[in-house]
Amino acid sequence: MTATAPGFDAVLLGTCPVPQAQYDRILLGHGSGGTLGNDLVRKLFLPAFANPTLSALEDQATLSLHGTKGAAQSIAFTTDSFVVKPIFFPGGDIGRLAVHGTVNDLAVGGATPLFLSAAFILEEGLALSDLKRIVASMREACDEAGVTLVTGDTKVVDRGKGDQIFITTAGIGVVPEGLALSIKNARPGDRILISGTIGDHGIAIMSVREGIEFETVLESDSAALNGLTRAMLEACPTIRCMRDPTRGGLSSSLNELADASRMGVRLDESLLPLKPEVKAACEMLGLDPLYVANEGKLIAVVPPDDAARVLAAMRRHPLGRNAVQIGEVVEDHPGMVIMKSVVGGERVVTMLAGEQLPRIC
Partner 1 sequence: MKYLDEYRDAAAARKLADAIARTVTRPWVIMEVCGGQTHTIVKYGVDRVIPDCIELVHGPGCPVCVTPLEMIDRAHAIASRPGVIFCSFGDMLRVPGSNGDLLQLKSRGSNIRIVYSPLDAVNLAAANPDRKVVFFAIGFETTAPPNAMAVWLAAKRNLKNFSVLVSHVTVPPSMTAILQSPGNRVQGFLGPGHVCTVMGFEEYEPIARRYRVPVVVTGFEPVDMLEGVLMTVRQLEAGTATVENQYARAVRREGNAQSKKLIEDVFEICDRKWRGVGIIPKSGYKLRYEYRDHDAERLYEVADIQANESTVCISGQILRGLKKPHDCTAFGKTCTPQTPLGATMVSSEGACAAYHAYGRHLEATGRRNGHQPELVQIGGGK
- Least separation in angstroms between CB 211 and partner 1: 9
- Least separation in angstroms between CB 337 and partner 1: 8
Which of 32/164 has CB closer to partner 1? Answer: 32
Task: Tell me: does residue 361 bind partner 1 (CB under 8 A).
Answer: yes
Task: Tell me: does residue 29 bind partner 1 (CB under 8 A).
Answer: yes
Please state, in angstroms and rounded to a whole number, the distance separating the CA atoms of residues 147 and 205.
Answer: 26
Task: Tell me: does residue 344 bind partner 1 (CB under 8 A).
Answer: yes
CA distances from 48 to 42, 44, 45, 127 (A): 10, 7, 5, 39
Check if the beta carbon of residue 102 is closer than 8 Å to that of residue 234.
no
Check if the beta carbon of residue 178 is closer than 8 Å to that of residue 146.
no
- Amino acid identity of residue 343, one-letter, is V
DSSP-derived secondary structure letter, 67: -
Write the DSSP string, 250-318.
Answer: HHHHHHHHHHHHT-EEEEEGGG----HHHHHHHHHHT--GGGS--SS--EEEE-GGGHHHHHHHHHHSG
Question: Of 14, 25, 49, 215, which lies in the binding site for partner 1, with binding defined by CB under 8 A?
Answer: 25
Return the residues of window 251-270 that contact partner 1 according to CB under 8 A: 262, 264, 270
Applying CB under 8 A, the span of 6-14, 91-99, 140-148, 149-157 interacting with partner 1 comes to: 6-14
- Least separation in angstroms between CB 86 and partner 1: 17
Applying CB under 8 A, the span of 88-96, 156-164, 215-223, 351-359 interacting with partner 1 comes to: 351-359
Question: Of 210, 213, 219, 305, which lies in the binding site for partner 1, with binding defined by CB under 8 A?
Answer: 210
- Least separation in angstroms between CB 262 and partner 1: 8
Question: Of 18, 19, 27, 140, which lies in the binding site for partner 1, with binding defined by CB under 8 A?
Answer: 27
Contacts for 150 with CB less than 8 Å, ≥ 6 apart: 115, 116, 117
Contacts for 155 with CB less than 8 Å, ≥ 6 apart: 119, 120, 121, 122
CA distances from 342 to 169, 220, 331 (A): 40, 27, 23
Please state, in angstroms and rounded to a whole number, the distance separating the CA atoms of residues 320 and 228.
Answer: 7
Question: Of 153, 213, 283, 305, which lies in the binding site for partner 1, with binding defined by CB under 8 A?
Answer: 283
Half-sphere CA count of 230, side-chain side, radius 13 A? 11
Applying CB under 8 A, the span of 22-30, 92-100, 104-112, 196-204 interacting with partner 1 comes to: 22-30
Which of 305/332 has CB closer to partner 1? Answer: 332
CA distances from 38 to 29, 35, 50, 198 (A): 11, 5, 15, 22
Task: Tell me: does residue 358 bind partner 1 (CB under 8 A).
Answer: yes
Which of 146/354 has CB closer to partner 1? Answer: 354
Check if the beta carbon of residue 213 is closer than 8 Å to that of residue 207.
yes
- Least separation in angstroms between CB 351 and partner 1: 10
Pattern 303-342, binding to partner 1, x per CB under 8 A?
A: -----------------------------xxxxx-x--xx
Q: Which residues bind partner 1 (CB under 8 A)?
A: 2-6, 8-9, 12, 22-23, 25-29, 35-36, 210, 262, 264, 270, 276, 279-280, 283, 285-286, 332-336, 338, 341-350, 353-355, 357-361
